[in-house]
Amino acid sequence: MGCGRGRIAHYLATMTGGQVSGYNIDPNQIENAIEWAAQTNMTDRLHFKEGNHHDPLDYDSESFDGCFSVQAVWPFFKTEELDDCAREMYRILKPGTRYACSEYLLSPYFDWNNPEHAALHKIYLPTLAATQSMYPADVCAALERAGFKILVSEPSQRPAWPICEQKRNLIFGIRKVIRFLEKVRILPPWVEESLELLQNGGEAWADAEKAKIADLNWRIVAEKPAA
């Protein structure tokens, strides 16, 4: 779900020897995924389809042995939309199979009434390219209402903030060059402004993750009961 350019799908197909189908709303990413499958001689095992996972999935019922998403589903659904998505995942899976995800979610410690939490969230959310922020309990409840049994719901094993801080330092250095190019009117002002927003968002994310109020790779595993 939300396969992007198909690189994770390629990795899983290579690792398992199985067939992997990718579903994504962006036609350009789907085109890239198909081209990559051809370049790597994997067209017989990688299958990509353009589609919006806010709509019914364009697959037959009980046609898959598993389903996964990586930072591609729950950050883009409103609370009232969670049930429809969970039901569609449940529908396409065979009995006894599992859905697994590694997704951006708020941690149970996040408090919307806490001004510091809310301020960090406002700054970092655009940096993640996410539109919504759900709690794990919200997602798990929707999966359970669809019929799944939750096997795992837990924080990521490794933090993402060290990588964010590396990128922050890189952006800081680039901004010095950008400022000079803007001063001599080679680049427009919005370039440096965009980098500033990106840097600030990365710093806010690092602070939020260190405070354990948000997680970039919260893990959930849910099983569809055997018939």
Q: Output b/e per residue, 40-67; b: 16+ Cβ within 10 A.
A: eebeebbbbeebebeeebebeeeebeeb
| DSSP-derived secondary structure letter, 200 | H
107-153 confidence digits (pLDDT tens):
999 999 999 999 999 999 988 888 899 999 999 999 999 999 999 99
Residue 163 pLDDT > 80, yes or no?
A: no
Residue 199 pLDDT > 90, yes or no?
A: no
Residue 183 pLDDT > 90, yes or no?
A: no
- pLDDT, residue 134, reads 94
Report how far residue 187's alpha carbon sits from residue 202's, in angstroms, rounded to the nearest whole number: 23
pTM of the model: 0.84
Q: Which of 3.40.50.150, 1.10.260.40, 3.50.50.60, 3.60.20.10 would CATH assign to domain 7-108+129-157+213-223? A: 3.40.50.150
Domain edges within the chain:
7-108+129-157+213-223
41-59 confidence digits (pLDDT tens):
999 999 999 988 889 989 9
**1: pLDDT confidence band, cut at 50, 70 and 90?**
confident
Q: In the predicted model, what is the mean pLDDT of residues 147-160?
A: 91
Residue 207 pLDDT > 70, yes or no?
A: yes
Report how far residue 184's alpha carbon sits from residue 182's, in angstroms, rounded to the nearest whole number: 5
Average pLDDT, rounded, for the chain: 88
- pLDDT, residue 112, reads 96
Residue 160 pLDDT > 70, yes or no?
A: yes
- pLDDT, residue 140, reads 97
Q: In the predicted model, what is the mean pLDDT of residues 179-196?
A: 68
HSE-up of residue 97 (Cα within 13 Å, Cβ side): 16
- pLDDT, residue 177, reads 67
Neighbours of 31 (CB within 10 A): 13
pLDDT > 90 in the chain, percent: 59
